[in-house]
Amino acid sequence: MKEYCFGIDVGGTTVKMGLFKTDGQLVDKWEIPTRTEDGGKAILPDIAAYALAKLVEKNISRDEVAGIGIGVPGPINADGVVPHTANLGWGYKEVTKELSELTGVICRGGNDANVAALGEMWKGAAAGHKNGVMVTLGTGVGGGIIIDGQIIVGVNGAGGEIGHIHVDDTIPGLCGCGNQGCLEQVASANGIVRLARWMRETDPKETVLEPESMTAKDIWDAVKDGDAFACGVAERFGKYMGTALANIASTVDPEVFVIGGGMSKAGPVVLDYIKKYYVKYTYKACRDAEFVLATLGNDAGIFGSAKLVL
Amino acid sequence: MKEYCFGIDVGGTTVKMGLFKTDGQLVDKWEIPTRTEDGGKAILPDIAAYALAKLVEKNISRDEVAGIGIGVPGPINADGVVPHTANLGWGYKEVTKELSELTGVICRGGNDANVAALGEMWKGAAAGHKNGVMVTLGTGVGGGIIIDGQIIVGVNGAGGEIGHIHVDDTIPGLCGCGNQGCLEQVASANGIVRLARWMRETDPKETVLEPESMTAKDIWDAVKDGDAFACGVAERFGKYMGTALANIASTVDPEVFVIGGGMSKAGPVVLDYIKKYYVKYTYKACRDAEFVLATLGNDAGIFGSAKLVL
C-alpha cells in the first residue's frame, strides 16, 4: 500500500522538501541548501539522500512511497527534461529519470510556478476547484493554468507565462525576456515600483512616497492610507492585471484566480483593484470568476509537486 | 464492431450532417433546413430521423454506430446542456440527452467554434498536432483551444472566446457582447471594415477603397495591389491579432495557430500581417509556433463533431 509521497521544490538557494500522506496530509517538511557549484551536479543526489534518510527516520519502506514530485525554476517538458536552468547551474538534464534512478521511486517534474498553482488548487486557496489560474506577484510575475486538475504545460514549457503577456506599448525599458510592454514590467513587486516612478514623471500629486527608495509595500501602505498618487498607481496596476486576466478568461474560462507571491501580502486591497478592471473588460459569461489570495505561501511548491505523482 | 459515427453541425439556417468511418473517412454528407419555429422543437427530431434514414439507406445497423457528435451555435456544458440559444429558438435544452433518446445512440455536444477547431486539428490544416488554437475570422471572431487533443470548454462554456479579448480602449462603439475594445470589433470581416472607416477619419492617403461600400475582400485585394492606406489597415489588424495570439501563447503555448473563416480566403497575406506582430510580442519560447490557413472550410464542424464521440 503506497501511503506516502514526496514533494520537492528546488530554488536557487534552498531546496524545500516535504513528506506527505497521499491524502495530502503534510507529515514533515525541511530545507537543504541548493549546491549550484560544479554545474549543480550535487543537487539531485542531495535530494535523493535526504529523501531516503527521511524514510529511515520515519521507519517507512520505499515500497510505501507512491512517488517523488519535483518543481524546478525553469521550463521542464513532459518527459522531465530541462534544456537549461541558469540559476541551478544545470545544462541539459534528465531530472526525473536521474532522480528516479537515485531513489528507486517514480518521479515527475514541473515548473515551479505551475506546481505552486497546482498546490493552491489542491490544498490551498482554491481547494475544491479543478479549473483555476494562479498568478504569483513576486520579484517577477509567474503563473500557472490548471484545467481539469492538470497543469497546462505548453509545447515549449511556456504555459502560464502570464508575466509576459503584452499589456502596453508605452512602458519604458525592456522586460527581462527581451520584449517591451510585458505585464511583469508593471505588476511584479519591482514592476509596481517602476510603474510608480514612471507615473511620477507626469503626476505631481502630493504623496508620502519617496520615488528613490519606495518599495511595493510602501505603495500598498500608502494606498490603504488614501494617498492620492499611490491610489492612482494601484488603479493603473489594476487595469493592467485586470485586462490580462480578463483575456486569460476569454481563453480558458477558469472558475477561480489565485493571487500569490510577496505582493499579495498587502491583502484584499490588491484583489479589489484587479477585480474592478477584470469585471469591466472580461467576457460577460466570465464575470463571476472568484478572486482569492493564496494561502500556502512558500509551501505551495511542495504541495503541488507532491500532487504531480498522485 | 462500431465502425461508423455521425458529425452534426447545427447552424441558424441549415444543419450539416456527415456520416464517417471511425478512422475519419467521410462516407457521406448532406444538409437539412434548421426549423427554428415553435422554439426549435423539430430540430433534434429532424436530425434523428435523417441520421436513422441514412443508416437504412447504407444498410448499416445502429449497433455499428459509435456515437453522434453535435456542434451548436452557443455555449453548451460538459453534460450537453445549452442554457439558451437565441438563433435556434431553444431555451434550456438537454441536447445530447434528447438526441440520444431519439436515436438510441450515445451523443456528445460542443460549441460550433470549438468543434471546428477540433476538426481542423483532426483532419484539417493542423492534422497531426495535439495542441492548437483556431481563430475563425467570419462575421464575428470565434475560436477554439485544443490541448492534448481535448477542447478547453471552460467553466461557463466561454473557453476560446477569442473575439472578446480586449485589445484597445479607443475603438469606437460597443462590441455585440456589450464591452468596448474587443478584438472582434476590428478583426472580423465586419470589424476590418469598421477599422478602415475609423482609420480613414485621420488618414488621408489616396486609396482605391470606397469608405461607404468597401468589404473585407476589397480591403485585402487593395493590400495585394500595394494600396498604401489598405496596407496601413492590414498592419493595424495584424497588430491587434498578433498581440492577442501572442497573449494566448503566453497562456497555453500551442504548437499551431489555424486561421479560418471567410476572411482567411484572402490567403497567406493575412497570416503574414498577423505573424509579423505575433513574433514581436510573444514570449521568446513561443516564437516558432506555426501559422496555417484552415483547409476544411464549412466541413470543419462535421469533422470536429464526429471526433467528439471517438
Please compute, for residue B277, the number of CA atoms within 13 A of its CA located in the half-sphere on the CB side: 19
Question: Is the separation of the CB atoms in B225 and B271 below 8 Å?
Answer: no
Query: Pick from A146, A248, A253: which is nearest to B111 by CA?
Result: A253
- pLDDT tens, position by position, A200-222: 999 999 999 998 999 999 999 99
Cα dihedral sign, B295-B298-B302-B305: positive
Average pLDDT, chain B: 96
Chain B touched by A254 (CB under 8 Å): yes
Q: Which chain B residues touch A248 with a CB distance below 8 Å? A: 251
Residue A1 to chain B, least CA–CA distance (Å): 31
Q: What is the pLDDT of residue B65?
A: 98
Give the residue-averaged pLDDT of A124-129.
97
- Count A/B contacts: CB-CB distance under 8 Å: 124
Angle at B177 between CA A166 and CA A171, to 5 degrees: 20
Residue B140 to chain A, least CA–CA distance (Å): 14
Q: What is the pLDDT of residue A74?
A: 85
Chain-centre distance of CA A124, in angstroms? 13
Q: A90 pairs with which residues across the strands?
A: A85
Q: Which long-range contacts (CB under 8 A, 24 or more apart) does B206-212 make?
A: none
Q: What is the pLDDT of residue B74?
A: 85
- Please name the member of A243, A251, A255 whose beta carbon is closest to the beta carbon of B252: A251
Chain A touched by B223 (CB under 8 Å): no
Q: Cβ separation of A166 and B254 shorter than 8 Å?
A: no
Give the residue-averaged pLDDT of B287-303.
97
| pTM: predicted TM-score of the whole model, two decimal places | 0.94
Segments in A156-227 forming alpha helices (H): 184-187, 189-200, 216-224
Amino acid making up residue B17: M
Residue A85 to chain B, least CA–CA distance (Å): 14
Chain B touched by A158 (CB under 8 Å): yes
Give dist(CA A288, CA A253) in Å, integer.
11
Give dist(CA B83, CA B77) in Å, integer.
9
User: What residues contact B306, with CB distance under 8 A and at least 6 apart?
Assistant: B5, B6, B7, B18, B20, B24, B69, B119
Grid coordinates given for B148:
492534448
Give dist(CA A86, CA A75) in Å, integer.
11
Q: Among A104-113, A254-263, B86-95, B150-159, name the one with the lowest average pLDDT.
A: B86-95
Confidence of residue B232 (pLDDT cuts 50, 70, 90): very high
pLDDT at residue B86 greater than cutoff 80 = no
Confidence of residue B269 (pLDDT cuts 50, 70, 90): very high
Angle at A288 between CA B283 and CA A224, to 5 degrees: 80
Q: What is the pLDDT of residue A307?
A: 97
Give dist(CA B264, CA B269) in Å, integer.
9
Query: What would the DSSP string read from start to end of A190-210?
Result: HHHHHHHHHHHTT-----S--
Rounded-to-5 percentages of helix, strand, coil across chain B: 45, 20, 35
pLDDT at residue B281 greater than cutoff 90 = yes
Q: What is the pLDDT of residue B84?
A: 82
Q: What is the pLDDT of residue A35?
A: 96
Give dist(CA B309, CA B95) in Å, integer.
15
pLDDT at residue B288 greater than cutoff 80 = yes
Helix (H) or strand (E) holding B103: helix B95-103
Give dist(CA B174, CA B223) in Å, integer.
27
Three-state SS at B247: helix
pLDDT at residue B151 greater than cutoff 90 = yes
| Residues B18-53 as b or e (16 or more Cβ within 10 Å = b) | bbbebebeeeebeeeebebeeebebbbebbbebbbe
Question: Residues in chain B, how many?
Answer: 310
Q: Which chain B residues touch A158 with a CB distance below 8 Å? A: 249-250, 253, 283, 285-286
Residues 263-302 of B with CB under 8 A from A: 280-281, 283-286, 289
Give dist(CA A117, CA A119) in Å, integer.
5
Query: Pick from A205, A266, A204, A208: which is nearest to A237 by CA?
Result: A266
Q: What is the pLDDT of residue B75?
A: 84
- pLDDT tens, position by position, A154-212: 999 899 999 999 999 999 999 999 999 999 999 999 999 999 999 999 999 999 999 89
Give percent of chain B above pLDDT 90: 92
Average pLDDT, chain A: 96
Confidence of residue A78 (pLDDT cuts 50, 70, 90): confident
Give dist(CA B12, CA B35) in Å, integer.
9
Q: What is the pLDDT of residue A83?
A: 84
Torsion (CA) A108, A113, A117, A122 in degrees, nearest 10:
40
